[in-house]
Amino acid sequence: MKSGILVVNKPKGISSAGVVNRLKRLLKVKKIGHTGTLDPFATGVLPIAVGKATRISKYFLKGVKGYYAQVTLGIETDTCDCTGRVTHTASSAPLAALDSDHIKDVVAGFWGPQEQIPPAYSALKHKGQPLYKLARQGQIIEKPPRPIEIMSIAMENYRMDTNGHPIFDMSVLCSGGTYIRSLAHDIGVALGCGAHLSALQRTRSGQFKIEHALDLDCFEKMSPSDIDARFICMSRCLDFLPAIVANSETAGKVKHGQPLFVTEFPMPDTLLIAGDKNDAKNSMLDIRVLDSDDNLLAIVTPDKYGKTYKYCCVFNA
């Protein structure tokens, strides 16, 4: 079985870990994991790292994310989404005063850099315990606000749901670490009527988009060779990192972890420009080392003196 990334279109009603477990049984592999959790009620892009690719998962966690969300107005829950316990229901007056143009303006006002308080029901940890586990035990831990950025946001399709509650759809492009549940809650507060996230599809995770994703049950019906064809190789997954191509002598040094000197192995002219593909600011100097067949041999970074390379990962040892 190959190493690389499989892009799954996660179905509703299963956890991200559940998707990993099903693929682990299907592929019969030991090393496998997702590159960013989606809640069980959510659907959409879930990149799965298989084999050696589990070692590059960190490069995708902070990538730009895209979502298509549904927000229900007038109802707040303790989880800020449709899975939680209702904590507040608005009276008819503030709901009757809602106007779609005003909602559009309020939603658009969340564009740009800002700070966001993570929800109490999240996978963030406090003293080693996930916040959602503590919350279920009655311990509500409020984490300090964290910097996020909304690159684009738009409201559309304002309507009433089958229960007569006002709802709208919302497209969002944002930095990694943004909670759309918290965003929906904050929009409800800004509107004065409360709100919660009632549906969510992730349309993008880093450079992986919904058009690249395949339904989980489709993977389970495919032959091993067809699954192999769906793998995105590690080199292509990391094409937002600059690359240098090693000759056979340098490839041998990499394989044995021997020192690499900048003088004999010049740095690329252009280092990481994450931009639209991935916001991996912690990897500004990371460089792919490729062989002549575009196989990923290693990831290296220059030392602080710019004389030698330090190994981050070696993949062919």
Q: Which pLDDT value is given to residue 279?
A: 44
* Mean of the per-residue pLDDT values of the chain: 87
Task: Give strand pairing partners of 200.
Answer: 69
276 catalytic residue (yes or no): no
Q: Which pLDDT value is given to residue 94?
A: 85
Residue tagged active-site, from 39, 186, 279, 286? 39
Nearest to 51 by CA among 261, 282, 237: 237
Q: How many CB atoms lie within 10 A of CB 300?
A: 23
Q: Which pLDDT value is given to residue 278?
A: 47
Average pLDDT (149-176) is 95
Average pLDDT (286-313) is 88
More confident residue, 213 or 120: 213
Q: Which pLDDT value is given to residue 136?
A: 63
SS3 149: strand
**pLDDT tens digits for range 25-56:** 999 999 999 988 899 999 999 999 999 999 99
The structure tokens listed for 134 are 């503590």
259-to-30, 221, 247, 279 alpha-carbon distances in Å: 31, 46, 15, 29
Nearest to 262 by CA among 306, 295, 214: 306
Give phi and psi for 202, each to the nearest 5.
Answer: -85, 120
